Every structure is written in C-alpha cells, then in structure tokens.
Amino acid sequence: MNGIYGWLTEATKDQKRTLVAASLGWMLDSMDVMLYALVLGQIQREMHLSAALSGAMMSATLIAAAVGGIGFGWFADRYGRARALTISMLVYSIATALCGFTHSAAQLMLCRVLLGFGMGGEWASGAALVAETWPAHHRGKALAFVQSSWAVGYALGAAVVALVMPHFGWRAVFFVGIAPALITLWIRRRLREPEVWRKERTSRPQTAQLFRGAFGYSMLVCATMNAATLFAWWGLFTWVPRFLSMSTAEGGRGLSIVQTSAWTIVMQVGTFLGYVIFGYLADHFSRKYTYIGYLLMAALLVPLFAFVRNPNALLLIGPLVGFFGTGYFSGFSVIASELFPTSLRGSAMGFVYNIGRVLSAAAPYLIGHVSEHAGLSYALCITSGAFLLAALIATALRLPANPVTG
C-alpha cells in the first residue's frame, strides 16, 4: 500500500493543498454536469423542450465555457492560478443555484451560459496549479488524482438527484449546486500561488508566441485532438442518463430515475479507476501511447454499450466505457502542462482545452437531433468515430523526452 500511495505521503503541505483544491473544483464542476443531465427529462416536460433544444442548452454552456476558459487562462498567467480558480468556482456555483429559479427556456439558457463562463476557467487554472507544484515523476499521478474527482462528482450528482428530486423536485436539485461557493472560502485562506509562477510573474507573457513555431504546432495538435475527445465525451455522456431512463418504445432502456442514478454511479467506479490507473501508466510508460490506447478502446466499447438491451449487461459494459471513455483526460492534463512554459501555461492550457469546447459544442445538439430520426442508440455511435479521430491526431504529438514544468 505504501508503494501505491507513497507519493501522497511524501508530499509537502502546499502540494497536498493544491491537489485538494483543484480536485474539489473539478469534482463540483462535474456534479453540476450530472445534475443537469439527470433532471433533463423533467425540464423537457415542464418547459416543453425538444430533444434538440435540450442538447442546445448544453451546447451553449460549452461555448460559454470556451470563452470563460480562454479568459481565465489569461487571467491565471497574470494574476495567479489560485485567484482564477476561486473566482471561476464562485461564478459557476452561483449560476447553478440560479437554474433552480428559471421558468422558461430563455431564462435557463441565460443561467447555463453564465455557468459555462465559470466552468471553463476552473480546469486550466486548477491543472496549471497542480502541474507547477508537483515534480515531473509524480505529475501524472497528481493530475490523474485531480481528474479522478470528476468521477466522484458525477456519482455525487447522481446521488443528490436520487435523494432530492423524488421529494423536492428538480429545482431543489440545482440549489445544492451552491456548495462550491462555500469551498472557495477555504481555498482563498489556505492556498498559495506556485513558487515557479511567483518567480515568473515579473516577466510579461508574450501570448503571441503560442501561435508560432514549435508552440504553434503543439497548440494545433492539442486543440484539435481535444476537440475530438470533447465532442465524443459530451455527445455520449450528456445523453447516457436520458438513454438509460427513456422507455424502450422510445429507444431507451426503461430504467427508473433511481435505477438510472445507480447505473450511473457504477459507471463512475470504472471512470475513477480509469483516471487513476492512467496516472500510474503515464508516469512509468509512454504518456502518448497510453492516451492513444484509451481512445481506441473507447471507440470499440461505445457501440456495444449503445446496442446492449439487457440492463445487467449494461452494468458490466458501463464501467468499461467510463474507464476508457473518460480516463484519457488524465493524459491530456499532463501532456498539455508539459508542452508549454510557466509564463504561458495558463493561457495555453485554457486555449487548447476550451477551443475544443467550442468545436465540441455541436455534439449534444447533434446527438439529440439525430436521435429524433434514427434513435438514440445509433446517434450515440457517432461518438465512436470522434474517439478514433482523436487517437489519429494524437499520433502527431511531440512530447519532451525529459519533461520539467517550470
């Protein structure tokens, strides 16, 4: 056990604090995504939304997240990673609670856009914070730990819906989303900016460098690769809860809201393990080829998941879809953090991650639209092609032989 967790016990207080802060931010970000996905059916009925418009709500959130992520990345390079993390969490937690007060599609859309601005800034600032605090030989495991909190938040969101919605309705579910605002009070009191960033802050970052030469090449590969994976992820996991809860006559699997929450939690067990195990593989073997391997397995598993009719078989395949179909994000965190220097890391990571969000924003809408004509099982298989495309682009990555963040 000490061999597995020794890297955590040997960490300094600052390293542990950054790990906890970034993990909490990512976990609560994930929880909000799950809340929306699981109450989507109720919102559709009450507000009379089509499947396409419901998907467009998430697409609008992703576009706003892209704008917010690029802006917060710039902010993090100039004013600090911890400060950017705190503000982004405040914005998305307040916006989540406001969703519970909406009574029309336009009001809900506005709140989801505001939420997106905050959600977009959380990943880049948190990932840069951890990458600059942890040494290269433990960086993969540390960033995988942060990414694994997405699975915890997803399962937590499913549990909140199962406990709250049957008794208090879908609006009360969103009110739980105010929790991150309380976490930010702890973050601001206990968290320090990375030493490497404090040393670099006197120099003015030249953001234009990111779009020239070797940096420009890395930006292009990372942005397009991530666009494909995010298209696949949002297209698949925005609709999985709805896929499980839809009646069999509509092309779903006919599970109750409690069963859907339970099946989702089981999937997140696989997702959690996928994140964590990726970190160990990335620190001991090739980050690049571990990443590609995950994507190829995800492409193979999605069609199996989409067409299996037996709910018990879904319990077996679902965790594997979670393992490979989400676990690769641990790889993107460490790959992106090691390709760019400290002075530009926040801007670079904010751009490559969030430009992908812009391009992937069409996925929830497209899957919803195709499902209205071909059925949701066939629509979900579109994401398999996106996983394959991402794996192909990833072969062009040029990673440093001896990565050092600083």
Neighbours of 336 (CB within 10 A): 27
pLDDT at 171: 93
* Nearest Cα residue to 362 out of 349, 379, 374: 379
pLDDT at 406: 52
Distance CA 229, CA 253 (A): 25
Residue 346 identity: G
* Nearest Cα residue to 88 out of 117, 58, 128: 117
pLDDT at 202: 60
pLDDT at 221: 94
* Nearest Cα residue to 324 out of 271, 375, 368, 366: 271
Give tens-digit pLDDT for 264-293. 788 888 988 998 899 888 878 888 999 999
pLDDT-derived band at 396 (thresholds 50, 70, 90) equals: very high
* Nearest Cα residue to 186 out of 303, 319, 82, 59: 82
The answer to whether residue 401 sits within a structural domain is no
Tell me what the pLDDT averaged over the chain comes to: 84
pLDDT at 122: 81
Q: Which residue reads 């390709």 in tokens? A: 339
What mean pLDDT is predicted for residues 85-100? 88
CATH number of the domain encompassing residue 372: 1.20.1250.20
Give tens-digit pLDDT for 216-256. 999 999 999 999 999 999 889 888 877 887 777 766 677 77
What mean pLDDT is predicted for residues 132-160? 83
Distance CA 63, CA 70 (A): 11
The answer to whether residue 350 sits within a structural domain is yes
Minimum mean pLDDT range among 39-53, 196-210, 336-350, 358-372: 196-210
Position 186 pLDDT exceeds 80? no
pLDDT at 1: 45
pLDDT at 401: 65
Query: For helices 51-79 and 13-47, what crossing angle results, to 10°?
Result: 160
Taken in order 253, 376, 278, 195, the sign of the CA dihedral is negative
What mean pLDDT is predicted for residues 289-302? 95
The answer to whether residue 182 sits within a structural domain is yes
Where is pLDDT greater, at 204 or 150? 150
Highest-pLDDT range among 161-175, 261-275, 333-347: 161-175
pLDDT-derived band at 4 (thresholds 50, 70, 90) equals: low
pLDDT at 205: 60
What's the number of domains the chain is made of? 1
pLDDT at 63: 84
Position 403 pLDDT exceeds 70? no
pLDDT at 159: 86
Residue count of the chain, please give it: 406
What mean pLDDT is predicted for residues 151-161? 83
Q: Which residue reads 């801007």 in tokens? A: 347
Position 342 pLDDT exceeds 80? no
Highest-pLDDT range among 59-63, 259-263, 320-324, 372-376: 320-324
pLDDT at 178: 79
The answer to whether residue 86 sits within a structural domain is yes
Position 3 pLDDT exceeds 60? no
Distance CA 56, CA 49 (A): 10
Position 302 pLDDT exceeds 50? yes
The answer to whether residue 179 sits within a structural domain is yes
The answer to whether residue 44 sits within a structural domain is yes
Residue 358 tokens read as 């812009």
Residue-number span of the structural domain to which 284 is assigned: 13-193+208-394
The answer to whether residue 202 sits within a structural domain is no
pLDDT-derived band at 395 (thresholds 50, 70, 90) equals: very high
Distance CA 356, CA 229 (A): 8
Position 187 pLDDT exceeds 80? no
Distance CA 102, CA 327 (A): 34
- Return all residues near 390 (Cβ < 8 A) that are at least 6 apart: 225, 226, 228, 229, 232, 295
What mean pLDDT is predicted for residues 365-374? 84
Give tens-digit pLDDT for 20-57. 888 888 888 888 877 887 788 888 888 888 877 877 88
Give the side-chain half-sphere CA count within 13 A for 266: 19
Answer whether 62's CB lies under 8 Å from 234's CB.
yes
Distance CA 88, CA 83 (A): 9
The answer to whether residue 124 sits within a structural domain is yes
What mean pLDDT is predicted for residues 184-206? 72
Per cent of the chain over pLDDT 90 is 21
pLDDT at 26: 83
Distance CA 89, CA 122 (A): 7
